[in-house]
Amino acid sequence: MSDAAKNRVLVLGAQFNRVEKSGTLPVQEKKSFWKRNTNKLPGSIKAVQSKGSQDHPTSPSSSGSPSPPGNTISSNPEKMRGKIQSFEDYTSKTHDAWCEDDDDVEKVGERVGSVIIQEPTVKVIRGGDIRTGILSRMKKKHNHANDVRPRQAPSSSNKEHTVQPKPLPLPPHAEIQLELQEQEMLKLERFGKILAGPTTDLVILRQYSWSGIPAQVRPTTWQLLSGYLPVNIDRRQSVLDRKRQEYYNLLKQYYDTRHEDIHQDTFRQIHIDIPRTNPLIPLFQQPAVQETFERILYIWAIRHPASGYVQGINDLVTPFFVVFLSAFTDGELETYDVSKLSKDALNTIEADSFWCLGKLLDGIQDNYTFAQPGIQHKIHALKDLIQRVDAPLHHHLIKHNVEYLQFSFRWMNNLLMRELPLRCTIRLWDTYLSEAEGFSKFHLYVCAAFLMKYSERIREESDFQSLLILLQNLPTGNWGYKDVELLVAEAFKLKSLFGEAPKHLQSR
C-alpha cells in the first residue's frame, strides 16, 4: 500500500508544484508543502489523540495515528451516501457568513496583496501550509537559506525508511492497519488538493472536514473554516500578516489597562481561571502559555463588553491553541515544552488563536450575555427534544426531580469540553466548524445524542443524588475519535429528523 500511496502523493505533489511554479524559487523550497505532508504521513502523525489511538508494534508507521476519521460513518456506504446528500443540501442552503467574510478579507487582501505578493514567502504559503510559511519567514529573518531544510530533510529521509514496508507477509490486523492508513492517505490527498487552491471551495472543504480533518492539515483547515484565512491562496499570507499585526497592536494599546479600575475585575477573574484551565495537561501549566491565554482572553473581553469574560470561555481557547501549536511540532502536544518555540512562532499561535476564538464566540455570544439567554434557550430545546426522542429517559429524569439545567448548563456553557477529553473536543470541532451553525445549533443535537448515549445507564439510577452525580461525571475518560464520530452521526440524524420537523414525534 505504501508504494502506491506514496506514488499518489508524489504525483499530487508534482501537480501542486506546477501550480505553484513561479520561477523565483529553488525547487526544493517549492516542494516544502508536500515534503511536510509526506513526512507526516500516517507514519508520523502525532496528534493530540495519540493516547487513545491504536498503535501497532509491527508497523512503526502507524504509531500514534488516530483511528481514521470518518471511519465509523463511512463504514456503511449506503448510509454515508444518504448523509452526504442531505448534508450537501444543507450546506448549499446555508452558504453565507463565511463568504461574506471572505469577500471582506479579499478586498483588503487586494489592497495589501500587491505589495507582499512579491515576497517568496507568499509563494511558499500557496500550498496552504502555515508552518512552512512561518518557517521560511523565520529563515528569511535569520538570513540563513538552509535553516529550514535540515529540519525537513532528515525527517523526509526517515520517512523513506518507515513508510516503505518490507515485502514480508503481514498478519491480518496489520493489513487492516495498512488499509486504514491508506484511507487516511487518500483523505489527506483530498484535503491537499482542495487546500492548495488557487481558491479553496469552502462547501467542499466542509464536506470533507465534517467527518474529521487529518491532523497535518487541521491548522490551515480550521482557519479557513473559521473564516479567518481567506479562500484565495494568494491572499492568505498577507491577511495573516495583517491580522497578526492588528492583534499585536491591540495588545500594545489595551493590555496595560488591565489594572485600571474599570477592567481590574475582568482581569482578576481571568487571572484566577487561567491556572485552572485544563490543570492536568502540562502544556497549560507553563507560564508562557498561561500569559498567552491571559492576553487573548483579556483583549477579547474588553472588546466585547456585552458579555465580557465569562468563566468557561477560557476552555474554548485551548483547542485553537493546541491545533495551531501542532503546526510547529511533530511531538506530543499535551506535554510540549513551549520554550522550544521561537518567540515569533508563539506570537503567531497567540494571534491566530485570538482571532479564531473571536469568530467562534461571535456565533454564540448570547450564551454569555446577561442571564445567558442562549444557554437557557438551548437547555429548553434539549428538554423538548429528549422528550420526543427518548421519552423513557425524559420521564425518568422528571420522576426523580432532575432538572435539565442542573446537568446541561455546563454542557452548553463549555461546549461539552468539561465532559470530553481534549483530543475528542478537537475532533468534535472538526464537525462543528464544518456545520453552518455548529457551535450555536448543531451543538444542541450533539448534547441530545450525548445524553441518549447514556440513557440506559442513567435509568439504572433511581434516586436524585446518584442521578445527578452520574450526570455530572459521565464516564467519558476513555473516549476516542470513534466515540465522537458515533456521537456526531447520531446528532446529525437527530437534526435531520427533528430539527427541521418541530412537530415530529411530538407528544400531545
Partner 1 sequence: MGTKDDEYDYLFKVVLIGDSGVGKSNLLSRFTRNEFNLESKSTIGVEFATRSIQVDNKTIKAQIWDTAGQERYRAITSAYYRGAVGALLVYDIAKHLTYENVERWLKELRDHADSNIVIMLVGNKSDLRHLRAVPTDEAKAFAEKNSLSFIETSALDSTNVEQAFQNILTEIYHIVSQKQISDTPSSNHPSNNVQTIHVAPTTDSDKKKVNCCNA
Point out which residues bind partner 1 (CB under 8 A): 269, 272-273, 275-279, 285, 307-308, 310-312, 314, 368, 370-372, 375, 400-403, 405-406, 409-410, 413-414, 418, 463-465, 468-469, 472
Residue 111 or 276: the one with the smaller Cβ distance to partner 1 is 276
Cell reading at 236: 492568505
Closest approach, Cβ 384 to partner 1, in A, equals 19
Q: How far apart are CA 198 and CA 23, in angstroms?
A: 17
Q: Computed over its alpha carbons, how large is the radius of gyration of the chain? A: 23
Taking the CA atoms of 213, 215, 220 and 223 in sequence, report the sign of the dihedral they define: positive
CA–CA distances in Å: residue 111 to residues 96, 100, 101, 190, 239: 24, 17, 16, 31, 10
Express the helix, strand and coil content of the chain in percent, nearest 5 each. 70, 0, 25
Q: How far is the CB of 272 from partner 1 (least distance, A)?
A: 4
State the minimum distance, in angstroms, from the CB of residue 368 to partner 1.
Answer: 7
Nearest distance from C-beta of residue 479 to partner 1, angstroms: 18
Task: Decide whether 102 or 294 has the Cβ nearer to partner 1.
Answer: 294
* Least Å from the CB of residue 317 to partner 1: 14
Residue 492 and residue 186: Cα distance in Å, rounded? 24
Nearer Cβ to partner 1, position 177 or 408?
408
Q: By C-beta, is 341 or 405 nearer to partner 1?
A: 405
Closer to partner 1 at the Cβ: 375 or 489?
Answer: 375
Q: Are 152 and 29 in contact (CB under 8 A)?
A: no
3-state secondary structure of 336: coil
282 φ, ψ (degrees, to nearest 5) = -55, -35
Provide, rounded to whole angstroms, the least separation between the CB of residue 295 and partner 1.
19
- In which residue are the cell numbers 475518560 written? 477
- Distance in angstroms (rounded) separating the CA atoms of residues 222 and 233: 15
Picking from 122, 106, 109, the residue whose alpha carbon sits closest to that of residue 25 is 122
Nearer to partner 1, 165 or 282 (CB): 282
Nearer to partner 1 by Cβ, of 195 and 313: the residue is 313
- Which class for 168: exposed (0-12), middle (13-18), buried (19 or more C-beta within 10 A)? exposed
Question: Half-sphere exposure (CA, 13 Å, Cβ side) for 327?
Answer: 27
Q: Residue 310 and residue 365: Cα distance in Å, rounded? A: 11
- Which residue, 90 or 409, has its beta carbon nearer to partner 1? 409
Report the nearest approach of partner 1 to the CB of residue 120 (Å): 45
Our CB check for partner 1 shows the closer of 415 and 433 to be 415
Q: C-alpha grid cell for residue 289?
A: 502559555
CB of 243 to partner 1, least distance (A): 28
CB of 128 to partner 1, least distance (A): 36
